[in-house]
Amino acid sequence: MKSDSFFANINVTRRSWMKATAGVAAAGILPRSVTAQSTPAAGAAGTARGGSIVVSDSAAVAETTCGKVRGFLHRDMFIFRGIPYGASTAGARRFLPPAKPQSWTGVRSALAWGFASPQIPSEHWDKDEVAFVYEWNPGAQGEDCLRLNVWTPGLDGRKRAVMVWLHGGGFMTGSGNEMNVYDGENLARHDVVVVSLNHRLGAVGFLDLSSLGGEAFAASGNVGMLDVVAALEWVRDNIANFGGDPTNVTVFGQSGGGGKVSTLMAMPRAKGLFHKAVVQSGSMRRMLTPDFSAKLAAAVLKEADVGKDRLKALQTMPFDRLVAAAAIAAKKVYPAGDYSKPLDFGRHAEFNAWAPTVDGDILPEHPFWTSAPAGSADVPLIVGSTLTEFGVGYMDPDFEKLPFDELRRRIVRGHGSRDGQRILDAIKAGHPNTSAAKLYAIWFSLGARHAAVRQAALKAGQGGAPAFLYSFAWDSPILDGRLHSFHCADMPFVFDNTDRCDHMTGGGPEARDLAARISGAWVQFARTGNPNHSGLPQWPAFDAARRSTMIFDNTCEAKDDPDGEVLKALDDSMKWI
């Protein structure tokens, strides 16, 4: 067993956090043994040749406000990729709010994914086990990246619930198609419309030049989030033509995507564009202050060798040069993480390069810091985390051999003798007959758990729409089970993609059955604002008295305040808000 986390001393992106450490029919839930991912192909997609895919000039054509688009059919599902929702952000448009795309004549092909935002190189592709599990495929980068993808059961004028997915990677990496798990086909088979999107990230999405460039760059620190707002405006204006209901839109995201959902809930410009929200392992409750963002911007200018009087040079230099300079600057400005104890995930932006800035206008307040945003009081929320987000056994075959003495040493090193022993006792009491290695991962993940529970409490305390809290506790069998319920482990279940993503789940009926329950809950929530359905035990809304939590595992159950004692001990030690 390695003495310290494999992922210490690296930038804390979604990936480094991760490594640091059902079917529903239109009328209701199908039997648990039937899932969307096991439904056989049939119908129009078969065609005379009996194939599963139809790509034709006369099939899968939909109208948008900019012109017609043609997608394709796969197993009777209409799929559109790379539809522009904004103009190119290159050149003079760099750092500026998104503009509408130009209209086109005729029918535009929408068969291929759009460009991903310019971003730093993907981390840990050379880590064999990590790359195997995640199967990253981020695609080509470019500044004409404001593109979205749609999966829909029909172009038939019906008003289906719409589920808009925001990808992870913090606010600095990723795309709407970088992982197999993001494929929305199986989720859409639950008779909903699924949308995913790309938006600006890192320096091209969140470099705040307002203190240097004045009004011309007033929005530059938040244009990445304004892109997401523009995508939601596209959904409002166009999704009815794709069989969706623009008055019933759910935004859901994981890790950095969850942080984007939380941010949207605090943005006045996003009000009314979505009606339900889901935050998965992404309770980022505090964003950047203007002072910090100004310090980061000055460091970027220095690395790029651009004077304050030459800001337009930042718009004309090749984007890869800008991204490289910004990455070097960020490493100099951001403090190194302290991996001797759980990190306060609610303050994620303060130790992860690039995030929105609380500017008093686009983002008037920190989302869910001391209170829930008033502007989204009427938006129901699902929020939660996995049991062992971080500190699991990637690249460490001896991980499960961790002795209890070493577990105690690590926790005491992080919290001191008295507080450390109290935290350890609380973890062991909540998880009896559990290995020291898994208890270590539970402890190392408490920062994410604290943030999720706190977000649920603030939302429930608002007295508006309800909050529903969960914990995903299913252990993956991959790599002899030493990854447990790792960061991102819940996503194949939400998307009903456990067979498609068998590198994460192992595939098979056990995972498929749980996927039916979880995806069914997400779909029911998207339709009604309440995740309860016949495949789950009753899932009560969160309140201060009971603090009810749905535990997702082979046997799902709702428990009252399962994290109470350990989070009290953690709060006494860490003094987190």
Q: What is the pLDDT of residues 529-539, one digit of tens each?
A: 999 999 999 99
List the alpha helices (DSSP H) in 388-499: 404-415, 417-430, 436-444, 446-461, 491-494
pTM score > 0.75 for this model? Answer: yes
Inside any domain, residue 534: no
Residue located via tokens 């895919």: 53
Which amino acids are annotated catalytic? 255, 389, 487
Residue located via tokens 């998104």: 98
> For position 31, what pLDDT does the model report?
34
pLDDT tens for each residue of 351-397: 877 999 999 999 999 999 999 999 999 999 999 999 999 999 999 99
Inside any domain, residue 462: no
The percentage of residues in the chain with a pLDDT greater than 70, rounded to a whole number, is 91
Residue located via tokens 């690590």: 410
Report the DSSP beta bridge partners of residue 249: 162
- Whether 513 has a pLDDT exceeding 60, the answer reads yes
Inside any domain, residue 381: yes
> For position 69, what pLDDT does the model report?
98
Average pLDDT of span 45-67:
82
Rounded Cα gap, residues 28 and 10, in angstroms: 46
Please indicate whether residue 20 or residue 417 has the higher confidence score (pLDDT): 417
Inside any domain, residue 177: yes
Taking the CA atoms of 355, 91, 136 and 7 in sequence, report the sign of the dihedral they define: negative
- Whether 244 has a pLDDT exceeding 60, the answer reads yes
Inside any domain, residue 434: no
pLDDT category of residue 24 using cuts at 50, 70 and 90: very low
Full residue range of the structural domain in which residue 13 is found: 1-404+467-525
Rounded Cα gap, residues 70 and 570, in angstroms: 53
Report the DSSP beta bridge partners of residue 250: 163, 276
The percentage of residues in the chain with a pLDDT greater than 90, rounded to a whole number, is 86
- What's the longest Cα–Cα distance across the chain? 73
Average pLDDT of span 281-287:
97
Query: Degrees (nearest 5) of the Cα angle 166, 483, 189?
Result: 40
Inside any domain, residue 42: yes
Paired tokens of 476? 């993956």
Domain CATH code at residue 40: 3.40.50.1820
Paired tokens of 184? 């929305």
Average pLDDT of span 271-299:
97
> Which stretches of 7-106 are assigned E, i.e. beta strand?
24-25, 28-29, 53-54, 61-64, 67-70, 72-74, 77-84
- Whether 561 has a pLDDT exceeding 90, the answer reads yes
- Whether 44 has a pLDDT exceeding 90, the answer reads no
Mapped onto helix, strand or coil, the DSSP state of residue 151 is strand
> For position 50, what pLDDT does the model report?
61
Mapped onto helix, strand or coil, the DSSP state of residue 82 is strand
DSSP 342-388: ---GGGGGGGSS---B--SSSS-S-TTSSS--GGGTTS-EEEEEETT
Inside any domain, residue 263: yes
Neighbouring C-beta atoms of residue 459, cutoff 10 Å: 30
Inside any domain, residue 170: yes
Cα Rg for the chain, rounded, in angstroms? 23
Residue pair 208/294 in contact (Cβ under 8 Å)? The answer is yes
Mapped onto helix, strand or coil, the DSSP state of residue 482 is coil
> For position 7, what pLDDT does the model report?
32
- Whether 577 has a pLDDT exceeding 80, the answer reads yes
Question: Which of 491-518 are b and which e, b meaning 16 or more Cβ less than 10 Å from the residue's Cβ?
Answer: bbbbbbbbbbbebbbebeeebbbbbbbb
* Domains of the chain: total: 1
- Whether 41 has a pLDDT exceeding 90, the answer reads no
Identify which of 184, 279, 274 has the alpha carbon closest to the alpha carbon of residue 232.
274
